[in-house]
A and B are shown apart, each in its own frame.
Chain A
Amino acid sequence: MTNTNNEIDIRGIEDFLYLEAQLLDDVKLMEWMELYDAEGKYWMPSSLEQTCAETEISILYESKLLMDVRRRNFGHKLSASMEYAIRGCRIIGNVRLSKEQPDASLIRVLSNFHAHLFYRDEVTLFAGKYTHDLKIVGGTYKIVQKRVDLINADGVQRNLLIYI
C-alpha cells in the first residue's frame, strides 16, 4: 500500500511476493490464483527479448481460465506425469521498484529468484527475474501480470509441471 506521503510500501510488497512464492511452494494453487486480478496473466516468455505473448511462442501464458483448469488437473490420478511428487523451494531477492512504471494504476516490481524443483528423482534449479505488475484493490495487492524471465528462456526446455 502507500503511506500518507503516497510512498510505495516496498516491505509490504516483499511480504506479498513471499506469500505468492509460499503458496506455490506448498502447491496451494487455488489460493495462489486468488492473488491474481480477474484479467491477471502469468507469463513465462521463451526469450529474454520477447515483447508480445500473443504473436510469439511462450513457455507459459495463462489466464485465470487456464490456471483454473490447471489446478483441477494438478495431481490428477489419471495423469501419468502427475504421479510423482512435486516440491518447490523459491527464494526471492533484490526486490526493487522498476524505474519504468507502465501505468499510474500499476506498481511494477522487479525481483530475482532461485527456485529449486524436485520432480521425477531430480532437483532442478530455475533462476531468473520476476516482473510483477500489481494493483491495489480493496486494500490488498492483485497481480495484473507476472512475467518470469528464466535465464535459460531460449534454451532447451524439459518438463515443467508447476508455475515458477
Chain B
Amino acid sequence: MTKVANVASVRGFIFASLSKDVPTIEEFLGDSIRTINNVADRAPEGEIEIVGKPFRYEHDSNWKMFIENLNDTMHPMVTHASVGKAARSFLADQPEGTKYPGEAEIIFPFGSSYKFFDDMKVTALNYGHSYVGGESSIHTAYSDIPDYIEAMNAAYGTERTNEVFSQNRHNTIIYPSFTIKDAVQCMRVVRPISVDKTIIETWHFKLKGAPIEMLKRTIMYSRLINSNASMVGPDDWDCYKRMHEGLRSTATEWVDMRRGLGEDTVPVQMGGERSFGTSDLSFRNQYKAWANYLKQGGK
C-alpha cells in the first residue's frame, strides 16, 4: 500500500493525493470551493449527509466525454430535443390551468434556448475546474419548498440566507474527478475503467435540518437525469459512444474547440475567467490542465 501523502477536508469532503508535491486544497480548488461550501451552507444546520449507496451507470466511452458534457451548454437543445418536444406535446394536450407536479419543473428547462444558456455564463478556473451558471441556472425557477426558507432564515438570518441562495451554479466540475451541484444536492464521481469504459457514480445528499421535501426533490432530479433509465442519460450515452468511435478515425487531426476563442473574458476572483455560456472555454481549460498533468508524467 502506498501511503497517502496529502489529505485535506472541505465541509466533510475528503481530498487525498499520492503526490507530496501538490498545491494546498484552497489553491487547487480556487473559486470551485464556493460550490462545495454552498452545498453545505444550504443546510439549516450547515452540514450535509450522504443518503444511500451511490447509483452506478456504465458508459462505453472515455471518461473525458462525460466531464466535457457537464459544462457543454450547446448540447441540451440538440441531444435532448426529443424530450423537450415530447414534454411540449404533452403540455399542449392538457386543459388550460392544469397544475403540474415537480417532475415537470425538472424536465421542461431542457428545451431552453441558446440565449438562455449563453446568459448563464461559463467560468473556467485553474487546474481544469469550471462551472456554468452562478447567479442563475436551469435550477433557478424551481418553486420554493414550504418551511425550508423559514428554517434557513431562523438559522442564519435573512441577509445571510439570501446570500446563500444568490449563488446558483448548474454543474461545477472539479477536474478530473467529479462534478457537483449546489442548488440540487447531488454529485457525480467519474470512475475511468479503461480507455472506452467509464462508470459514473451518483451520490445524494440530505441537507441537515431541512424539510424532507428538499431530499425528495434531489432524488427526483437525479432519477430523471442521472438514472440509466432516464429520458436524457441514454441520449448523452449514445453521443459519447459515437464521438468515441469517431475519434478512432484518422480522417481529421483536430477536434474543433474554438468557440469563443480570443473573445473577451472577464477575470474572476481566486483565479480564472468567465465567458458567454456556450463558449468552448471550459473544454480548452480542461485540456490545458490535462496536458500539464501529462507533462508532469502523472506525478
The listed residue (B86, B204, B222, B228) touching A158 by CB distance below 8 A is: B228
Within 8 A of B (CB), among A38-95: 44, 46-47, 54-61, 63, 65-66, 68-70, 72-73, 76-83
Determine the chain A residues whose CB is within 8 A of the CB of B190 once the complex forms.
none
**Among B10-18, B61-69, B124-132, B237-245, the stretch in contact with A:** B237-245
Does A156 contact B89, Cβ atoms closer than 8 Å? no
Asked if B122 CB lies within 8 Å of chain A CBs, one says no
* Chain B residues in 8 Å Cβ range of A65: 90, 100-101, 103-104
B51 at the A interface (CB under 8 A):
yes
In the complex, what distance in Å separates the CA atom of A81 from the CA atom of B82? 10
Given A76-B82, A156-B56, A160-B228, do A54 and B216 touch, yes or no (CB 8 Å)?
yes
Are A72 and B90 in touch, CB under 8 angstroms? yes
* A3 on interface, CB distance cutoff 8 Å: no
**Which residues of chain A are within 8 angstroms of B51 by Cβ–Cβ distance?**
55-56
Q: A63 to chain B: which residues have CB within 8 Å?
A: 101, 103
Q: Give CA–CA (A47, B82) in the complex, Å.
A: 30
Q: Does A161 contact B (CB under 8 A)?
A: yes
Q: Pick the residue among B58, B216, B222, B234 that contacts A161 (CB under 8 A).
A: B234
In the complex, the chain A residue whose C-beta lies closest to that of B57 is A157
Contacts of A73 in B (CB 8 A): 82-83, 85-86, 231
- CB-nearest residue of chain B to A61: B223
Within 8 Å by CB of A157, from B52, B56, B204, B220, lies B56
A contact residues around B209 at 8 Å (CB)? none
Bound together, the chains give a CA A55 to CA B199 distance in angstroms of 23
Give Cα A154–Cα B235 distance, bound, in whole angstroms: 22
Residue of B nearest to A161 (CB): B234
Identify the interface centre among B55, B89, B224: most chain A CB within 10 Å of its CB.
Answer: B55
Chain B residues, CB < 8 A from A54? 216, 219-220
B149 within 8 A of A: no
Say whether B79 faces chain A, with CB atoms less than 8 Å apart. Answer: yes
> Separation in Å of the A10 CB from the closest CB of chain B?
30
Contacts A72-B86, A73-B86, A156-B56 known; A55 to B219 CB distance under 8 Å? yes
A155: chain B residues at CB < 8 Å are 56
Shortest Cβ distance from A71 into B: residue: B86
A159 an interface residue at 8 Å Cβ cutoff?
yes
Cα distance, A12 to B104, chains bound together (Å)? 36
For A81, the chain B residues whose CB sits under 8 A away are 234-235, 237-238
Q: Which residue of A lies closest to B89 (CB)?
A: A72
Which residues of A (140-161) have their CB < 8 Å from a CB of B? Answer: 154-161
Please measure, in the bound complex, the distance between the C-alpha atom of A94 and the C-alpha atom of B234, giving whole angstroms: 32
B229 CB-CB contact with A under 8 Å? yes
Cβ of B120 within 8 Å of any chain A Cβ, yes or no, is: no
A2 to chain B, nearest CB (A): 34
Closest to A73 in B: B86
Interface residues of B in 187-231 (CB under 8 A from A): 199, 202, 204, 212, 215-216, 219-220, 222-224, 226-229, 231
Please measure, in the bound complex, the distance between the C-alpha atom of A70 and the C-alpha atom of B83, giving whole angstroms: 8
Given that A79-B235, A156-B199 are contacting pairs, would A57 and B101 also be in contact in the complex, using a CB cutoff of 8 Å?
Answer: no
Complex contact A46–B216 (CB within 8 A) = no
Contact of B229 among A60, A69, A77 (CB under 8 A): A60
Asked if A60 contacts B227 (CB within 8 A), the reply is yes
A65-B101, A79-B235 given; A57·B219 CB < 8 A: yes
Cα of A63 to Cα of B202 in the assembled complex, Å: 23
B223 & A58 in contact (Cβ 8 Å cutoff): yes
What residue of chain B has the Cβ atom nearest to residue A81's Cβ?
Answer: B234
Tell me if B53 is interfacial: C-beta within 8 Å of chain A. Answer: yes
Chain A residues lying within 8 Å of B233, measured Cβ to Cβ, are: 159
Q: Does B107 contact A (CB under 8 A)?
A: yes
Top 8 nearest A-B pairs by Cβ distance?
A76-B82, A72-B86, A81-B234, A73-B86, A79-B82, A160-B229, A80-B238, A157-B228
Residues of A bordering B, CB below 8 Å: 44, 46-47, 54-61, 63, 65-66, 68-70, 72-73, 76-83, 154-161
A-B contact pairs, 5 of them (CB 8 A): A47-B52, A57-B204, A60-B229, A63-B101, A78-B85
